[in-house]
Amino acid sequence: MGLGNLKQLAPFIKEAFQHTLLVAKFLCGIHVTNTYLCTFALTQGPSMLPTFSLTGDLILAEKLSTRFEKMQQGDVVLVRSPENPRKIVVKRLMGMGGDTVKYAAGPGNNDKKDTIVVPDGHVWIEGDNKFDTNDSKKFGPVPYGLVQGRVFWIVWPPENFGSVGREVR
């Protein structure tokens, strides 16, 4: 290839490089947004009925509340499962470190309540569906570091589109 051919290719190479930089910046922006600001997640299963549908909802969770410890009892949160670290679960935050939490001792048992003081640096999480959920009643308090974000919006399906409220039981 001669010098003349390289001069003809130079504008195309420059343009390709600029496009590659633009794509790289875009992907870095998505990474930073997903890691530090907010993320999408898909709910599955019955544990959060009726808040989320059984067939699954696409939700949006912000990550700033967890970083600055601004979560409150009743918030719906994304949590890395203490039983399977590859899995992210969606549950309701029922207590923070130092809080006293009363919970049903058995599945669907409203008569017998147990009480626990959540240790510092931990949270107590429960599913909204008290009859079919795998939560702190089974595996105990969860380290705060496993909380990944606070769910604030349902994106899909369209009939459920809207904010996710705080519910204190």
For 72-96, what is each residue's pLDDT tens digit? 899 999 999 988 989 999 999 999 9
pLDDT in tens, 46-76: 888 888 888 889 999 999 888 888 888 999 9
| Catalytic residue (choose from 47, 63, 136, 137) | 47
Question: Is residue 47 flagged as an active site residue?
Answer: yes
pLDDT band at residue 1 using 50, 70 and 90 as cut-offs: low
> Alpha carbon of 139 to those of 38, 82, 99, 122: distances in Å?
27, 8, 17, 12
Using the predicted structure, report yes or no on whether residue 169 has a pLDDT greater than 80. no
Q: Which two tokens mark 59? A: 């939700």
pLDDT digits 0-9 by tens, 5-57: 767 777 888 888 899 999 999 999 989 888 888 999 999 888 888 888 888 89
Q: Which domains does the chain have, with CATH numbers?
A: 37-163 (2.10.109.10)
Of 63, 91, 136, 137, the catalytic one is: 91
Give residue 25's identity as a one-letter amino acid code. K
Residues 6+ apart with CB under 8 A from 61: 38, 39, 40, 41, 77, 78, 148, 149, 150, 151, 152
Could you please report the per-residue DSSP string of 75-87?
A: -EEEEE-SS-TT-
Tokens representing 32 are 């930073």
* 101-152: pLDDT as tens digits: 888 876 555 567 888 899 999 999 998 888 888 888 888 899 999 999 999 9
- CA atoms of 143 and 114, how far apart (whole Å): 20
